[in-house]
């Protein structure tokens, strides 16, 4: 299979997984919709789990690129944290509820991978802002990020509109800032 076809397959499968969940996506449907044989898919990936793993690896690469891009565009760590928080909320809404329910209940390793890369980057960004004295002293980055992300995730699962969650994220972040941090925005 050539690289272009593989990229198209991964993009299509990733979109299908985000829309319907992993369990609902079938290899024969992917093969039919992408114009390749089911045999070719299984020859290349051996199993649906391997194919999903390849899609997850692609996701991790894309998110890493997003982090680098956001860092390049930010003028300082506080601006980066705000952009990263918004990107995290946006990420929660890129996938349908079926996806989130599916991975939390049936594919915890996928959930842990996705959650882990976001939490790690958010914790790092909070730590950088604490060093710059833009967030209140005594804030524990891991606990803070865990509390915020859990709240945002629960709001997403409850069906809250993305704009409401994004605005709540902004207000909560702003509420954790020092006066210098607030003035910096």
Q: Which of 121, 124, 119 is nearest to 149 (CA)?
A: 119
Choose the CATH number for 1-58 among 2.30.30.110, 1.10.10.60, 3.90.105.10, 1.10.10.10: 1.10.10.60
Dist CA 122 CA 84 (whole Å): 7
Lookup result for tokens 């051996």: 46
The conformation of residue 62, written as its DSSP 8-state character, comes to H
Mean pLDDT of 133-142: 97
Residue 118 has pLDDT above 90, yes or no: yes
DSSP string, 153-168: HHHHHTT--HHHHHHH
C-alpha span between 93 and 112 (Å, rounded): 17
Delimit the domains of the chain by residue range. 1-58, 74-185
pLDDT in tens, 12-33: 999 999 999 999 999 999 999 9
Counting every residue written for the chain, the total comes to 185
């Amino acid at each position: 299979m050539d690289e272009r076809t593989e990229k198209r397959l991964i993009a299509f499968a990733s979109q299908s997984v985000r829309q319907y969940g992993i369990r609902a996506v079938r290899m024969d449907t992917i093969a039919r919709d992408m114009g390749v044989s089911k045999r070719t898919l299984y020859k290349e990936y051996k199993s649906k789990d391997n194919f999903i793993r390849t899609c997850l690896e692609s996701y991790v690469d894309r998110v890493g690129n997003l982090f680098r891009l956001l860092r390049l565009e930010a003028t300082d760590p506080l601006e980066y944290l705000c952009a990263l928080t918004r990107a995290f909320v946006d990420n929660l809404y890129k996938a349908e509820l079926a996806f989130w329910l599916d991975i939390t209940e049936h594919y915890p390793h996928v959930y842990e991978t996705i959650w882990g890369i976001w939490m790690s980057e958010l914790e790092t960004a909070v730590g950088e802002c604490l060093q710059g004295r833009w967030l209140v002293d005594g804030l524990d980055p891991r606990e803070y990020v865990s509390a915020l992300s859990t709240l945002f995730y629960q709001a997403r699962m409850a069906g809250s509109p993305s704009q409401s969650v994004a605005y709540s994220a902004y207000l909560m972040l702003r509420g954790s800032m020092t006066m210098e941090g607030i003035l910096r925005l």
